[in-house]
Amino acid sequence: MARVTDGIAIGLIFTLAGLVKGVVGLGLPTIAMGLLGLWLPPLQAASLLLVPSIVTNIVQMAGPGLAGLL
């Protein structure tokens, strides 16, 4: 049961951090690392940040032109 609630918490944290990045343009790693650190050791929290950070940076860098590719 703890694994399910951990997964939900991690999903909500990334949703919140992604919302902030979408509105402001930065902050996903800062917010996610701070909140993930409440549940996970820093090394695990940092490893969870790799893929979402790279993906959101690529989407943001591509700008509106990426919509045609999707």
Question: Residues 9-67: pLDDT tens digits?
Answer: 999 999 999 899 888 878 888 999 999 999 889 999 999 999 988 888 888 788 777 66
* Close Cβ partners of 18 (under 8 Å, ≥ 6 residues apart): 28, 52, 56
Give the pLDDT score at 11.
92
Side-chain-side CA neighbours of 65 within 13 Å: the count stands at 3
Confidence of residue 1 (pLDDT cuts 50, 70, 90): very low
Q: CA geometry: angle at 50 spanning 45 and 54, to 5°?
A: 145
Q: What is the pTM of this model?
A: 0.76
Range of the domain at 63: 2-68
Q: CA geometry: angle at 15 spanning 33 and 31, to 5°?
A: 25
Q: Domain tally for the chain?
A: 1
